[in-house]
Structure 1
């Protein structure tokens, strides 16, 4: 764990790039549905968004959640640093608590109109692929980080647990946004615990009742526990249409339009 903490950035970046390429290759081999956008255009837009998000984070926030976790540990701040329940119980509880935090934050992004203006950019993708996992507005990324930092500070989340969670979150987000068709046996096994592409694709459906379900990124238990789980889409995956009516379904939204979209009002476009 000490090695993981010391080499956090390199480990996270290495795993992210490996999984991005790995799932990108699988999308060619076993697609869940036919691609809706050209790969080069889609990857350019979404990777550009990632770069913008990274720059925005570095400019706005002097430290991020890992820095807060280190500070809390060094100064005995937060529940797990004050109440000694043992390292591994605190570690496992931290992973679960962080995951339910992300679930709750995700619900908030849908239910609060101001936050939905930011989050709807993520739903503007006309056809999911692995890069959709990083398609978030920089203001949403900053808000999400501030919420996570506050939670880490209050709970005293162990540094290593936070790093492991971030790796899992990024890896599973890449996985469940991917255009990958799993074998039915593997799908049925994984979806008992984790959010699979077939589960998360429902969340990106144009149908409001499906858009407002399946909020989980890692574990599927929270959607089932809080009554937001949808097991199957109304339409089959090859015909399931993704995106939002206000952005239209004919062509992908450009990078500049995505950046200014939270500050604009949209009318539902005629089909």
Structure 2
């Protein structure tokens, strides 16, 4: 798989999940927005558009191209050993998930970084677009962190694809303004972060905001 194919797969899944979540919210919203959706969406989607431009300026070919470069130059942990992709891919996805989890905690802990991350928490209503609402500098820092991880690990391109698809899809899903049936939600939250679980993270109470950091 090359970086172009990886990019188009990610974009296709992103648009598909976004469309499904927005339709679900329109048909059966869990809560009514206290502010104009048009005003919120113009801000939230505007931020993701700017963030996407920042990413393309920083890494024009994307993380997959960096992974390919590391592979060609035999750089990174996985490129030093003959490890099956059946092992390296799932381990890498888990390691990246842990990395983003701790990145999230640090952005809550360090005052300067919290000023950036607070843009995400400043949304007056939570829906699928909130999962895309991040300060462009935070997006740039996150990409830089993942870039270092890609080089250090010698990350397989397939692992990047799987992780990025999961990260974007679960971020949109966990912020969506929907209500799952209680029995399904109770079971699902053992595997991924559900709306009810993640909503606590957007509480106005600091002790609750500083919890439930996972995606």
TM-score range, shorter chain: over 0.9
TM-score (norm 2): 0.95
Larger RCO: Structure 1 or Structure 2 (Cα < 8 Å, ≥ 6 residues apart)?
2
How far apart are 1:61 and its partner, in Å? 3.8
Deviates more, 1:154-163 or 1:29-38: 29-38
Which stretches of structure 1, 4 residues or more, deviate above 4 A after TM superposition?
Answer: none
CA distance in 1, matches of 2:178, 2:94: 26
How far apart are 1:58 and its partner, in Å? 2.4
1:160-184 CA-partner distances (Å, limit 9, x unpaired): 1111110111011110010110011
Instruction: Give the structure 1 partner of residue 123 of structure 2.
Output: 125
Q: Which runs of 5+ in 2 are unaligned?
A: none
Q: CA RMSD in A?
A: 1.4
CA distance in 2, matches of 1:141, 1:102: 12
How far apart are 1:62 and its partner, in Å? 4.4
Contact 2:126–2:177, Cα closer than 8 Å, also in 1: yes
TM-score (norm 1): 0.76
Contact 2:3–2:61, Cα closer than 8 Å, also in 1: no
How far apart are 1:57 and its partner, in Å? 2.2
Question: Larger Rg: 1 or 2?
Answer: 1
Instruction: Give the structure 2 partner of residue 36 of structure 1.
Output: 34
CA distance in 2, matches of 1:67, 1:114: 31
Contact 2:175–2:198, Cα closer than 8 Å, also in 1: yes
CA distance in 2, matches of 1:14, 1:63: 17
1:46-84 CA-partner distances (Å, limit 9, x unpaired): 111111111222234445322211111111111111122
Q: Which runs of 5+ in 1 are unaligned?
A: 218-271
**DSSP 3-state at the match of 2:20:** helix
Alignment of 1:209 with 2:203, yes or no, is no
1:175-210 CA-partner distances (Å, limit 9, x unpaired): 001011001111011101101111111101111011
Count of residues in Structure 1 that have an aligned counterpart in Structure 2: 215
Instruction: Give the structure 2 partner of residue 107 of structure 1.
Output: 105
1:18-37 CA-partner distances (Å, limit 9, x unpaired): 11111011112332322233
Instruction: Give the structure 2 partner of residue 98 of structure 1.
Output: 96
2:178 to 163, 180, 184: 180
2:148 to 139, 147, 150: 150
